A and B are shown apart, each in its own frame.
Chain A
Amino acid sequence: MSSENFDNLRLELRRGGLVLAVLAALHSEQYGYTLRKLMADHGIEIDEGTLYPLLRRLENQGLLTSKWREEQKRNKRFYKLTVAGKQILEQLLNEWRSMDSSINSILKEYGHATSRTVLAGR
């Protein structure tokens, strides 16, 4: 049950982070498969069933642009950030950093007690 809870909470936590990671990775033009590999190389695993619908959603919101182009004898769809996408990415990164700083500040205040409790629990 605890593992199931962790999985659900982790999924929730990751959801917003994935959007940020995808937008950040699309500063340079990528097609789906290389984008997935790039993210995996940086420690963010994302399955195709999540990535492609997300790319479509971001494109519909005007944050990405895509075009089909032949490469290595196959047609591939390349995605890239739009100007609006770059602005939103900046805003989201600010939000992310502010949140990170707030959480760190909370942890700093209670961090000592928390780590002691964890150790006692062990």
Chain B
Amino acid sequence: MQLLERYLQAVKFWLPKEQKEDIVAELSEDIHSQIDEKEAELGRKLNEVELESILKQRGRPILVANRYLPQQHLIGPVLFPIYLLVLKIVMLCYVVPWTVTWIALLIFNSGHAAKFSGHSWVETLGSLWASLWGTAFLAVSTVTLVFAILERVQLNSHFLEEWNPRKLPPVNNPNVISRFNSIVELAANLLFCVWWTTNMSSQLVLNEVNLRISLAPAWHYFFWGFLLVAVVNIALAIANCARPYWTARRAALRLVNDIAGSVLFCWLLKSNLLVEIAAASISPAKAVQLTAAINLWMVRMFPVAVIVGVVIAVVNIFRIVRVTAPQARIPGERAAVA
């Protein structure tokens, strides 16, 4: 019976102090009743193996004790979905940019990269992981702590139980285009076209007494290229104003136009377009240095521009998939899309 005593002691350890004795006494009685019945059935005392089998059937001591404890939670069912949403937002807005910045510093900042000179890529990756882990841990802990406090406040004040259906956000249909956005897009592109054709049509983009900036002959391609992209954007914005929902054709046109714009921009960064800067306040040698530095920084920005271009393309492709998926359309929209 020593085995039974050990079992009861283990259960007792996990029970609330004020109920320990009472629960263990009842549990002990119940197990003894089961043993008595089994012994009466067999006509002999139970051996160690048979007793062990009864105890195993009852379950681990911690689980048995747990059933007597009140249900506890750090963050309850009311706040838990909000907690998950906030965690995702924090990960997206804090940890992801932090990681991108860390990698960008490693690539573009020689001082930061020098810390890892002589390290293998595995060691560098390990260092990133260690820093990332620390950042993520801090972010998750802070959010969890805030929500745990909110949960306690909510339990006492029930502030989440008061709500008004009228304050719920309007039904969201991602295939509907906001007319306000289209008008802003139209105005911005019109302004851009006016400014672009007025000021940027020549290679000599600035020709003042004190300052002259000239670009390479390839500028003409970029001038007409960006102008075309802006004109297509204007046409799209007008169409979107008139029919404010995405169609497969318009979404595809937006994809092509955005890709064209991104390719032009990436090409521009790699083209060493800046030929000359001449200013009264700086010496010719300094001006040459400045020109070279600007061209160099434009080349260094190239990977970032590529990443941004890819993200824009992915968003556009996702939009096309969403628009063409039959279940995504609402019945009223079907005729219009067709």
**Interface residues, chain A, with chain B CB atoms under 8 Å away:** 31-33, 48-50, 52-53, 56, 68, 74-77
Contact = CB atoms under 8 A, between A and B. Distances in A.
Contact of B27 (A50, A52, A74, A76): A52
A33 B33 contact: yes
Given A33-B34, A56-B68, A49 B29 contact: no
B150 to A, nearest CB: 28
A66 to B, nearest CB: 9
A50 B67 contact: yes
A75 B160 CA distance: 48
Given A49-B58, A53-B67, 18 more contacts: A32-B29, A32-B30, A33-B29, A33-B30, A48-B27, A48-B30, A49-B64, A49-B67, A52-B23, A52-B30, A52-B67, A52-B68, A53-B68, A56-B68, A74-B29, A75-B25, A76-B29, A77-B26
Interface of B: 23, 25-27, 29-30, 32-34, 58-59, 63-64, 67-68
Contact of B29 (A50, A53, A75): A75
B68 A77 contact: no
B77 to A, nearest CB: 16
A122 to B, nearest CB: 32
Could you tell me the dominant secondary structure of chain B's interface residues? Answer: helix
Nearest to B29: A76
Interface centre among A31, A48, A53 (most CB of B within 10 A): A48
Contacts of B32: 74
A33 B27 CA distance: 10
A77 B33 CA distance: 12
B63 A49 contact: yes
A77 B58 contact: no
A64 to B, nearest CB: 13
Q: Sorted from nearest, which 4 A-B pairs have the closest CB atoms?
A: A33-B33, A53-B67, A49-B67, A53-B68
Contacts of A76: 29
A19 to B, nearest CB: 15
Contacts of B34: 33
Contacts of B67: 49-50, 52-53
9 contacts: A49-B59, A52-B26, A52-B67, A52-B68, A53-B67, A68-B25, A74-B32, A75-B29, A76-B29
A33 B26 CA distance: 10
Contacts of B23: 52
Contacts of B68: 52-53, 56
A48 B7 CA distance: 15
Contacts of A33: 29-30, 33-34
Contacts of B59: 49
A84 to B, nearest CB: 22
B284 to A, nearest CB: 78
A85 B97 CA distance: 60
Contacts of B30: 32-33, 48, 52
Nearest to B31: A48
A77 B29 contact: yes
A2 to B, nearest CB: 26
